[in-house]
Structure 1
Amino acid sequence: MTSQTTTINNNSSTSVSSSWKNKAIISVAFLMAMTSVGPGFLTQTAVFTNIYKIDMAFPVFASMFITFAIVMNLWRIVGVSGLRIQDIANKIAPGAGYFIGILLALGAVAFNFGNVSGAALGLNVLTGVDTTWGALFTGVVGCLLFVLHNASRRMDQMARYLGLFMIILIAYVAMTSLPPMGETLTAAVMPADVGSLILPTLTIVGGAVGGYYTGAQRLVDIGLQGKDNIGAIKTAAWAGISIAVIIRILLFLAVFGVIAAGGVLDTSNPAADAFKQGAGDLGYFIFGLVLFVASITSVVGNSYMAVSLVKTLFPVIERQEKACCIGFIVITSAGTVLMDMPILLLMLAGLINSLILPIVLAFMLAATRRKDIVGDYKHPVYLSIMGVLIVIGMGVASFGNVGNFIAKFMGS
């Protein structure tokens, strides 16, 4: 009888463990995808597709491989070590974690300016309310989500449900205005001028990296860590990458389909105009929903990420984590209102984060050589090679394209 009871208990424990892992994988995957494919990516994709037309297929295609290399490197190292990004950096070089954590937190400020701006634009489309009031409303909603009991669980649930909702909405618009697929696929691998596409590639990758950091930090917080969980970590990474890639492709097809049909997008809000031309007033309303959904998810996820990057460095922040998240939202919402440049802020956030990424990834790759960080875990050589190429390539290209960005979007 005792043996039978023990067997039942073991089976129950295994079932609970398996169920928990599956929920954790789905939650982290959707949180990463929704935070990475936020208003920055939506706006950046529309702006650049309006400029580069069919050749924008190449940056979207290239970003898939870059995303794979970044996420698989970052998540494996953070997940196996059970340490947050800033704590890994501190072990590599004492004090470096403060530099990395504060640098990423500042990048998160730039991102949240863009996220709040995106939510304000979405509300403007839905209700006609001025973007100033939209930004303030977004700040209030974001704060309320953190005030709720068990805020982190609510954040995970919100990412899952709103993520599915967003995919359905974008897919509907994409199907109403599909571009010529043969020519689009050709342009994805053989664009007319690869050199001119470096800036859009860097910007849309930079516009998504906040989600990659958020997912990595979340792995540690929910306990999906250690070498024994490497299978679950890889599955979560693959799921997050897949969801993000599906949304990116659908969004590009929705925007380019309008342009391929002869449409000219309004430069003041090209993404909204693409949805309106592609699916009429319903499409315009859908865009407002998509942008607000993406934005509010990113506001909450990005605020969580910013605080998680510094909370282990400053104990007072860890003790008051929820209050700090709320304070972060309040500050960035107020800053957005004062600056009142939503499109430029969304574009600029992508470039800033493309400058920071190579520094962060270099520290993560260095950690694979440290047994006191990853133990006896052996990081795949092919991932290390891809990671090094991204560190060098994005580092050189990002700094080299600052002038190009200023000339194109801020005047020479």
Structure 2
Amino acid sequence: MSKPGNKPSPKPSARPVRRTGKAPRDAAAGKKTPDNAMKTSTRSTLIGAMFLMATSAIGPGFITQTTTFTVQLGAAFAFAIAVSILVDIALQLNVWRVIGVSGRRAQELGNLVLPGLGWVMAGLLFAGGLVFNIGNVSGAGLGTDAMLGLDPKLGGALSALIAIGIFLSKRAGLAVDRIVFVLGTLMIVLTTYIAITSGPPVGSALKNVVMPEQVNFLAITTLIGGTIGGYIVYAGAHRLLDSGVSGPQHIRDITRGSVTGILITGVMRIVLFLAILGVVAGGAALDKASPAASAFQHAAGEVGLRVFGIVLWAAAITSVIGASYTTVSFITSRTKTSDRVRTWIVVAFIAVTTIIYVAVGTAPTTLLVFAGAFNGILLPVGIGVLLWVATRRRDLLRGYSYPNWLLGIGWVAWLLTLYLAVRSVRPVIELF
């Protein structure tokens, strides 16, 4: 009670609540606050970026390369897969971190290191992306043939139109993120089913991871080139930039995305390898014209062939999306090129590669293996530029203190890619 003659002390009052007729939106009520909405948006973007990177790698070339070397090397191919995954993680960690923290695309950083160098990188990447995308459209055509019995050229053209429609949609970025996630997951699930059905010698494969019966340098270079070579290594990082996720404050998201993207690709490589290995170890003779389709059919009959068609088509169309998006990001400016212009350049890129495919026909297996090895040879150039930025141009990293341990494993991995590239020049020439 208050003393006589004194006014009662005012009671603490709660903050006035504005009545709007709607319940408050707060985290405790299970609703999204602006901060939670931002976290959800960042998480969605991150998932889209890492699946774009992963599905860009898992294309027709990926399937062809894995099948070709599994037939050649058998269980010993497990060693090449293990080495490639470790190298991929070391390099991808550095690439995503430099691009993500700096907020600049790879070619922009190249031009800042040495005027004109970025455009040389863009030219080399464009050439590799063009070859790969012809193979991607070809793979989509072969996928529709195995899945539905369509003529491959017609199936490839229709698939290209679907990809163009995705980029022309009003919410193209969201559409790309969701499609690569759904199709990427579908590929892994279906291929795992075939791997279980084929009954591979898992023990022999595990033994060859640590004690390989033989080491094939071309196989390792091709896998690295096919997984992170050319445009693929930049796909996820450039997608993050275009979504507005960049800077030192996002370092945890950048790191998680780079590693997870490689692990997704590695899982698909392993289950596909085991699926093919089970068939080969069982003594089946694969059709040389389409060894992967033949392996799936041996493993699960007619159902296996249809499953192969779905996997190949999903791999191909997601790679068309990833190759087109990332290649165009190298020849356009993030600040000076409008979204409309960039979209039409992507559409033109898909259209040109489709016309070349329809005119020339199915991309041969040798061309797809060559494209992966060629990208593996070019890989040290782009990686070297980004590692140089982390080493000598830290002024471009917005005050971020770059970990020396990460830089160290990056340079070691870079030296390995350089060594493998030199060792593979002659075998690549001999492919033809």
For the 8 Å contact 1:359–1:391, the answer to whether it is kept is no
Counterpart residue number, 1:122: 143
Residue 52 (structure 2) pairs with residue 31 (structure 1): yes
> Following TM superposition, by how much is the alpha carbon of 1:312 offset from its aligned partner in structure 2, in angstroms?
1.3
Q: Report the Cα distance in structure 2 between the residues aligned to 1:344 and 1:89, rounded to whole angstroms.
A: 31
- Quote the Cα distance in structure 2 between the aligned partners of 1:293 and 1:45: 17
Q: Using a 3 Å threshold, how does the CA distance of structure 1 residues 256 and 316 change in structure 2: closer, same or farther?
A: same
Q: Displacement, 1:8? A: 7.2
Residues 115 and 346 in structure 1, CA contact (< 8 A), matched pair in contact too: no
Residue 70 (str. 1) matches residue 91 (str. 2): yes
Match for residue 113 of structure 1? Answer: 134
In structure 1, which of residues 260, 284, 297 is the aligned counterpart of residue 318 of structure 2? Answer: 297
**Deviation per residue, 1:323-351 (Å, 9 max, x gap):** 10000001111122333333223212101
Determine if the alignment matches structure 1 residue 382 to structure 2 residue 402. Answer: no
Task: Tell me if 1:324 matches 2:345.
Answer: yes
Instruction: Check 1:260–1:313 CA distance in 2 against 1; reply closer, same or farther (3 A cut).
Output: same
Q: CA deviation at 1:244?
A: 1.3
2:222 to 191, 203, 220: 203
Q: Which of the pair has more CA radius of gyration?
A: 2
Equivalents in 1 of 2:96, 2:245: separation in Å?
10
Match of 2:11 in 1: none
Runs of 4+ in 1 over 4 A off after TM superposition: 1-5, 7-11, 313-319
- Please tell me whether residue 279 in structure 1 is matched to residue 335 in structure 2: no
Give the drift of 1:370: 1.6
Q: Distance in 1 between matches of 2:364 and 2:150?
A: 15
Shift of 1:276: 0.8
- Looking at structure 1, the residues matched to 16 and 185 of structure 2 have their Cα atoms a distance apart, in angstroms, of 44
Per the normalisation by structure 1, the TM-score is: 0.93
Contact 2:141 2:313 in 1 (8 A): yes
- Partner Cα separation in structure 2 for residue 336 and residue 165 of structure 1: 26
Q: Which moved more, 1:100-109 or 1:45-54?
A: 100-109
Q: CA deviation at 1:251?
A: 0.7
Contact in 2 for aligned 1:113/1:345 (Cα 8 Å): no
- 2:41 corresponds to 1:20: yes
Secondary structure of the corresponding residue to residue 307 of structure 2 = helix
Deviation, 1:243, is: 1.4
What is the aligned partner in structure 2 of residue 82 from structure 1?
A: 103
C-alpha contact (below 8 Å) 2:96/2:237 kept by paired residues: yes
1:357 partnered with 2:379 = yes
2:21 match:
none
Paired residue type of 2:397: V
Written as runs of structure 1 = structure 2, the 5 A alignment for 1:205-284 is 205-209=224-228, 210-284=231-305
Q: Does 1:171 align with 2:195?
A: no
For 1:299 and 1:171, how far apart are their aligned partners in 2?
23
- Residue 154 of structure 1 corresponds to 175
TM-score, normalization by structure 2: 0.89
The question of whether the paired residues in 1 share the 8 Å contact of 2:160 and 2:317 is answered with no
Query: What is the rounded CA distance, in whole Å, between the counterparts of 1:121 and 1:292 in structure 2?
Result: 7
Distance 2:132 2:49 in 1: 20
Letter of the 1:205 partner, please give it: I
In 1, the alpha carbon distance for the partners of 2:142 and 2:245 equals 36
Check if 1:91 corresponds to 2:112: yes
**Are 1:394 and 2:429 an aligned pair?**
no
Of Structure 1 and Structure 2, which has the larger fraction of its residues in helix? 1
Using the alignment, how far apart are the partners of 2:15 and 2:366 within structure 1?
68
Alpha-carbon RMSD: 2.1
- Cα distance in 2 for partners of 1:335, 1:75 equals 33
Comparing 246-255 with 121-130, which one deviates more in the overlay?
Answer: 121-130
Correspondence 1:346 to 2:365: no
Q: Which amino acid aligns with 2:36?
A: S
Unpaired runs of 5+ in structure 2?
Answer: 1-13, 19-23
**Partner residue in 2 for 1:143:** 164
How far the C-alpha of 1:2 sits from its partner, in A, is: 4.7
Aligned partners of 1:267 and 1:4: how far apart in 2? 74
The answer as to whether partners of 1:34 and 1:211 remain within 8 angstroms in 2 is no
1: CA distance, partners of 2:130 / 2:261: 23
Matched, 1:404 2:423: no
Q: Following TM superposition, by how much is the alpha carbon of 1:3 offset from its aligned partner in structure 2, in angstroms?
A: 8.3
The verdict on how the C-alpha distance between 1:24 and 1:314 changes in structure 2, with shifts beyond 3 A counting, is closer
For 1:4 and 1:73, the matched residues in 2 are separated by 49
Aligned to 2:396: 373
Offset of residue 150 of structure 1: 1.7
Task: Please give the alpha-carbon distance, in whole angstroms, between the structure 2 residues aligned to 1:70 and 1:109.
Answer: 23
